[in-house]
Amino acid sequence: MNRAWNVFSVSGIRVRVHWTLVLLLAVVGLSEWHYAGVALLGALFGCVLLHELGHAFAARRYGIGTRSITLLPFGGIAALERLPATPSQELVVALAGPAVNVVLAALLWGASLMVPASLAPFVGTLLMVNVVLTLFNLLPAFPMDGGRVLRAALSNRLGVVRATRIAVVLGRVLAIGFVVVGLMVGNPILLLIAMVVWVQGGAEQRHVERVAKPRPQALSPHDTLSKPLGIFARTGQAEFPVLDHTCMVGILRREQLSVAFARFGPDMTVGSVMEPLRPRHETVGR
């Protein structure tokens, strides 16, 4: 489903082509194979690539690298190495792509006033494409930029994980709408877009849930049981590594915590009830 092929690199960023785009190009090529159509398709995906490079270079300002850019039938996806650190950073990175299309549209509008009449349809089509790309990418659904803008707007109040889930649900509602419309008008491109929105939205949610998963909080042997009880109440953490300075000396499990709290109360120390780690030099008797 996520199969894509590396094509070339730009500024150290791998550019990949998704199989659905290859399928689309094959359909268009077989139905309307002529030089003008090929040139227009090349220019179209050149605009898409510039759009994604806008995201990549904006992310680079915040020290975030881009592993690859994947071109899809409706646009592209820049695979950042990590999420922006703050919602404001994500907002800048998300809007950088549509901003590139706005600049391209302005340049093409100026060019349309000066090019010969024979090139006017070509330039006018590219102008319209960039306007459509700007508006389409601002739809509030992953993997479009509007999904990231929505997440950035919600993250301050709801956190990045919940904000992502909301954006994914809304995107899948839109995907169902694309399927309904695509079937009604017989447009397979809308069906492809719906499939990519559904799949990539789920992938984005899984990625965010994985990277946002909190690390286990460690305890000291001198902590009282009240500390892990408070952590468990807030986070549900069931196992606690116990560190003496930087050395792990034991582990306290939820079952041990429950029994020890019932028998000794909250003032008992963690070191007294934890499961100690076997010293490296200790051997098991034969």
Q: For residue 65, which of 2, 137, 14 has the smallest C-alpha distance?
A: 14
Token pair listed for 57:
């270079």
* Long-range contact set of residues 254-257: C-beta below 8 Å, sequence gap at least 24: 257/225, 257/228, 257/229, 257/232
Q: For residue 71, which of 93, 50, 45, 104 has the smallest C-alpha distance?
A: 45
Half-sphere exposure of 89 (CA within 13 A, CB side): 15
What digits encode the pLDDT tens for the residues 173-193?
A: 999 999 999 999 988 888 888
Q: Indicate the SS3 state at residue 109.
A: helix
Domain boundaries, the chain: 4-138, 226-276
Q: Indicate the SS3 state at residue 68.
A: strand
Pairing of strands 247-253, 239-244: antiparallel
The whole-number pLDDT of residue 280 equals 42
The whole-number pLDDT of residue 283 equals 41
Token pair listed for 82:
């990590």
The whole-number pLDDT of residue 39 equals 74
All residue ranges of the chain with pLDDT < 70 are: 1-2, 4, 21-38, 74, 212-214, 278-286
